[in-house]
Amino acid sequence: MLTELGVPSLGAFAEPAPSAAGQEVVEVVAAGINHLDLAKAAGTFYTGPPPLPSVPGSDGVGRRADGSRVYFDAPVAPFGSLAERTLVAAETMLPIPDAVGDEAAAVAGNAGIAAMTALDRARLSAGERVLVLGATGSVGRIAGQAAIAMGAGRVVAAGRDRTRLEALAARTGCAVAPLGEAAPMAAELEAAADGPVDVIVDPVWGEPALAAMGAAAQRARLVQLGQRAGATIELPAALLRSRRLELIGVSGALESHADRAAAYAGLMELIAAGKVTVDFERVPLDAVEDAWRRQVAGAVGTKLVVTP
Ligand SMILES: NC(=O)c1ccc[n+]([C@@H]2O[C@H](COP(=O)([O-])OP(=O)(O)OC[C@H]3O[C@@H](n4cnc5c(N)ncnc54)[C@H](OP(=O)(O)O)[C@@H]3O)[C@@H](O)[C@H]2O)c1
C-alpha cells in the first residue's frame, strides 16, 4: 500500500466493501505493474496524485462472486489492483474469453488498450507501412503484432535491444530497425520500412520520434503514447508541414469506457486466435515492492504481472 508518494510497501489495508450501488468486491487474480502506476504513485501523473493511504494498481483481472473473470481499469479509490481483493463498479468491467489466460488478459489491459487505440486512431489501412518505436516494450510488441494482423503492408519494429528485436522478428515476421546509442536517423528507419512510413506508433518520444517523423510519408499519422526516450523534443515546423504530418495523442486513462471496451475486445479476439502473444513475468504479491523498484530502475524487459 501507499502511505506516502513513492514506492508502495506490503501491508494490511482495509477490506474493500461497496459504498454505492453497482460496486462489487472482486478477487484479484492478475494485475500488471504499469508505468502509469509508477507515475501515479510518484504524484507525477497528469490526472493528479492518489489519495493517501491507498492501494496502488490501476488495472487487473478479477474474479466475481459468480466465478466469472473480468478485466477492470477503474478500481474505486482508495482500493487498487495490487491487492488480494479490490472494489470495482460493475458497469466498468470487461469480459474475458476463456481462451485468454489471466496474465495475458492483464497485459492486454493498460498496454494493449493503448496499442489497439493507437492503431484505431491512426486509421490504419491494409497495405500501409507501420513503424513501431519502443517495439520491444509491452505496448510496442502488441502494436506490431496487431498491425500485422490488421493487414499492414510492412511493419518495422524499432528498438535498442537487438537480441529482443530479432526474437520479435522471428516470432512475428516484422522487419527490424536497431537503434544503437547514437540518435536514430530517418534514412535508416525509412530503409528498414522499404519506403516512407504511413503510421508511427510512438511510446518513446525524444530523438527516435523526431527521426520517425523524418521517415514519414505524406499524410502520415504519428500516435503519441509515452515518453520513455524523452519528455520534450525540438520540433521543426517544416518537418510537420513538408509531410502534412498528423500528430495524435492517446491516453488510455482519458479515453471513453466504450472506446477502451472496443479496444480490449478486439485484442481479446486477436490473442484468442493466436495472432497476438504477450510476454510477462509473474510476481507474487509479497514480492511487489522489489518488483516495483526494478520497474522504476528500468531493469525489467517484460511486463511484470502480480498474481496474489
Ligand atoms: N498512452 C497510454 O495510454 C499508455 C498506455 C500504456 C503505456 N504507455 C506509455 O508507453 C510507454 C511504454 O510503455 P510499455 O509498457 O511498453 O513500457 P516497457 O515495456 O517498459 O517498454 C519500454 C520501451 O521503451 C523503449 N525505451 C526505453 N527507453 C528508451 C530510450 N531512452 N530510447 C529509446 N527507446 C527506449 C524500450 O526499448 P529498449 O529495449 O531499447 O530498452 C522498450 O521498447 C511508457 O511511457 C508508458 O507510460 C502509455
Grid cell 516494450 is found at 137
140 CB near ligand 1 (under 6 Å): yes
Q: What is the structure's pLDDT at 92?
A: 96
Domains and CATH numbers, the chain: 23-108+278-307 (3.90.180.10), 111-249 (3.40.50.720)
Three-class SS of 32-98: ECCHHHHHHHHCCCCCCCCCCCECCCCCEEEECCCCCEEEECCECCCCCCCCCEEEEEHHHCEECCC
Contacts of 132 (CB under 8 A, 6+ apart): 140, 143, 144, 147, 155, 156, 157, 158, 174, 200, 201
From residue 119, alpha-carbon distances to 40, 44, 124, 187 in Å are 26, 27, 6, 23
226 CB near ligand 1 (under 6 Å): yes
Residue 228 CA, ligand 1 centroid: distance in Å: 5
Q: What is the structure's pLDDT at 21?
A: 97
Q: 3-state class of 260 per DSSP? A: helix
104 CB near ligand 1 (under 6 Å): no
| Residue of the CA atom closest to atom 20 of ligand 1 | 137
Q: Which of 204, 222, 227, 248 to mutate for ligand 1's pocket (most ligand atoms within 8 Å of CB)?
A: 204
Three-class SS of 194-236: CCCEEEEEECCCHHHHHHHHHCEEEEEEEEECCCCCCCCCCCC
Q: What is the structure's pLDDT at 180?
A: 80
Residue 246 CA, ligand 1 centroid: distance in Å: 21
Residue 298 CA, ligand 1 centroid: distance in Å: 10
Q: What is the structure's pLDDT at 184?
A: 77
Q: What is the structure's pLDDT at 291?
A: 96
Q: What is the structure's pLDDT at 167?
A: 93
- Tens-binned pLDDT, residue by residue, of the chain (308 aa): 999 999 999 999 999 999 999 999 999 999 999 999 999 999 999 889 999 999 999 999 999 999 999 999 999 999 999 999 999 999 999 999 999 999 999 999 999 999 999 999 999 999 999 999 999 999 999 999 999 999 999 999 999 999 999 999 999 999 999 888 777 789 999 999 999 999 999 999 999 999 999 999 999 999 999 999 999 999 999 999 999 999 999 999 899 999 999 999 999 999 999 999 999 999 999 999 999 999 999 878 899 999 98
Q: What is the structure's pLDDT at 213?
A: 97
294 CB near ligand 1 (under 6 Å): no
Q: What is the structure's pLDDT at 30?
A: 98
